[in-house]
């Protein structure tokens, strides 16, 4: 591995100041455009009026945020607090039976929110997966999981499930829960197939794992291997330390929630993304600001959506997956996958990427295992056309980054670069290459968040009509971001 050297302080400080300046100025442009189009967007999307942020209206067009905030305020937060009370009481008075108490609570909470039909559906999917695991064949386990996912998209079955509930939100809660539960029962069943001893792979353990309430509806993902190890050796702190953890965690979550709400009150990026004509008309600064606002809101949103269950997991004496790393400090596809949804990354690596060959086999097997991994992610998220576009771009990005790493690791190339370039020059070259990778990473994420039409508009305006100045300007901005990300990685690396 080539050794990089920290840049002179003045140079890094310059990149840092420019990075923050680019963020804030582009956000200011988005703010101005949001005010300019506010009346039209209000008529089209019914912006929500409130007095929380100086009377600015709220952009309600991020379905995921609106959906989970409504459910959080309605029932889920209260059920999580009840889980915490049950967990703490069982730790004090019936520690030996705590896992089964939590299992019973999770099933009861699931029945309360999703009804008898919803609970039966989750039990049915879990039972089918457990039955297929008895054959101890991972291929059969995967086939059953993929078919169970497919049943969520069959129109005739969708009509039946919708008939169980009085509102669309209740139906979607069932679908989201079943989609996330798919990863959980798949993890258990694959571990069952691989296990030599079945002692801790009973159906009761599967129910405990599948119905563990803090992660029931939206994750984050914890593999059964990690869950089981932690559950049998959980170590709860004292009352004082637990109270400190809970208060500090709550303060952090409230700050992230406030920041997310501030963003969608000041910048109507989701509503503008839903109106292609506005995207075609806005300035390049606004276009860039909208892209940054989209991906940063996605990051802050998941700090909240994963941060809440992570807090309750920690109060149970378990260790949740790390929360997402700030996307403004990421400078490549590999880092994004490792550091954003850590739980999903661990699942994909353990159950798909490594079994299919991984990076320690031939180049062909590595390409194939990476393609299968991204294909599954697209299928799991819904298999829409824009998801396949996103998957292909991510596969190409990961492949290119791994190809460059393999090339640089060759002794001849490594020695040549070491002799020709100084350590600081190598870091500048690294940042320059990373700026290209980050550009494509952001472009792929915009497709994931906004769809193919948004991707088409950005491609035409930045890379086609905007060549060379708009394109090179984007590379230049992201070159500064890359230096900040490289420094961040060196200081805060989790390795």
User: CA-to-CA distance for 41 and 83, rounded, in angstroms?
Assistant: 41
Cis peptide before 220 (omega within 30 of 0): yes
Contacts of 327 (CB under 8 A, 6+ apart): 295, 296, 298, 299, 336, 340
**Burial label, 230 (beta-carbon count in 10 A; 0-12, 13-18, 19+):** middle
Q: Which residues are known catalytic residues?
A: 381
Pick the closest to residue 444 from 319, 346, 336 (CA basis).
Answer: 336
Alpha helices of 267-283 — where are they, by DSSP H? 269-273, 276-281
Q: Which residues on adjacent β-strands are paired with residue 58?
A: 48
Contact between 455 and 389 (Cβ < 8 Å): yes
Q: Find the helix or strand (DSSP H, E) in which 223 lies.
A: none
User: CA-to-CA distance for 274 and 261, rounded, in angstroms?
Assistant: 19
Using alpha carbons, list the distances in angstroms from residue 245 to 76, 233, 242, 310.
Answer: 20, 19, 5, 11
Q: Find the helix or strand (DSSP H, E) in which 196 lies.
A: none
Q: Which residues on adjacent β-strands are paired with residue 48?
A: 58
Q: E strands of 297-433, at which residues?
A: none
Alpha helices of 235-275 — where are they, by DSSP H? 239-266, 269-273
Contact between 446 and 455 (Cβ < 8 Å): yes
Q: Find the helix or strand (DSSP H, E) in which 464 lies.
A: none
CB-side neighbour CA atoms (13 Å) of 410? 9
Pick the closest to residue 210 from 281, 295, 148 (CA basis).
Answer: 148
User: CA-to-CA distance for 79 and 110, rounded, in angstroms?
Assistant: 10
Contacts of 183 (CB under 8 A, 6+ apart): 219, 221, 344, 347, 380
CA 475 to chain centre: 25
Q: DSSP assignment, residue 39?
A: H
Residue 330 backbone dihedrals phi, psi, to 5 degrees: -95, 145
User: CA-to-CA distance for 117 and 165, rounded, in angstroms?
Assistant: 10
Distance separating the N- and C-terminal Cα atoms of the chain: 15
Pick the closest to residue 6 from 494, 492, 486 (CA basis).
Answer: 486
């Amino acid at each position: 591995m080539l050794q990089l050297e920290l840049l002179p302080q003045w140079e890094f400080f310059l990149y840092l100041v420019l990075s923050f300046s680019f963020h804030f100025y582009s956000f200011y442009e988005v703010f101005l455009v949001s005010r300019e189009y506010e009346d039209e967007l209000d008529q089209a999307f019914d912006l929500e009026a409130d007095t929380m942020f100086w009377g600015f209206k709220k952009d309600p067009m991020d379905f995921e945020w609106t959906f989970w905030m409504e459910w959080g305020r309605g029932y889920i937060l209260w059920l999580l607090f009840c889980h915490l009370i049950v967990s703490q009481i069982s730790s004090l008075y019936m520690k030996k039976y705590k896992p089964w108490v939590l299992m019973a609570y999770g099933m009861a909470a699931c029945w309360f929110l999703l009804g008898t039909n919803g609970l039966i559906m989750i039990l049915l999917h879990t039972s089918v997966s457990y039955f297929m695991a008895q054959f101890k064949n991972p291929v059969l386990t995967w086939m059953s999981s993929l078919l169970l996912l497919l049943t969520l998209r069959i129109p005739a079955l969708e009509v039946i499930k919708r008939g169980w509930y009085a509102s669309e939100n209740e139906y979607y809660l069932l679908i989201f829960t079943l989609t996330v539960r798919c990863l959980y029962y798949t993890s258990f069943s694959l571990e069952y197939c691989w296990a030599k001893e079945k002692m801790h792979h009973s159906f009761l353990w599967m129910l405990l794992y599948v119905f563990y309430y803090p992660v029931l509806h939206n994750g984050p993902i914890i593999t059964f291997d990690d869950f089981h190890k932690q559950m049998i050796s959980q170590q709860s702190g004292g009352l004082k330390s637990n109270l400190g953890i809970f208060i500090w965690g709550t303060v952090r979550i409230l700050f992230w929630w406030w920041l997310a709400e501030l963003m969608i009150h000041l910048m109507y990026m989701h509503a503008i993304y839903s109106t292609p004509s506005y995207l075609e008309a806005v300035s390049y600064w606004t276009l860039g600001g909208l892209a940054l606002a989209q991906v940063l809101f996605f990051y802050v949103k998941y700090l909240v959506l994963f941060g809440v269950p992570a807090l309750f997991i920690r109060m149970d004496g378990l260790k949740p997956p790390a929360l997402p790393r700030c996307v403004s400090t990421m400078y490549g596809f590999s880092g994004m996958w490792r550091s954003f949804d850590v739980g999903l990354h661990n699942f994909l690596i353990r159950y798909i990427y490594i079994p299919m060959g991984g990076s320690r086999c031939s180049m062909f097997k590595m390409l194939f295992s990476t393609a299968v991994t991204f294909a599954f992610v697209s299928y799991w998220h819904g298999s829409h056309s824009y998801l396949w576009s996103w998957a292909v771009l991510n596969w190409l990005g990961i492949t290119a980054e791994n190809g460059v790493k393999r090339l640089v690791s060759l002794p001849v190339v490594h020695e040549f670069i070491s002799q020709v370039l100084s350590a600081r020059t190598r870091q500048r070259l690294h940042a320059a290459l990373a700026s290209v990778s980050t550009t494509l990473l952001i472009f792929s994420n915009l497709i994931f968040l906004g769809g193919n039409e948004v991707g088409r508009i950005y491609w035409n305006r930045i890379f086609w009509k905007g060549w060379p100045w708009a394109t090179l300007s984007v590379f230049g901005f992201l070159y500064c971001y890359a230096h900040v990300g490289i420094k961040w990685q060196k200081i805060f690396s989790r390795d």
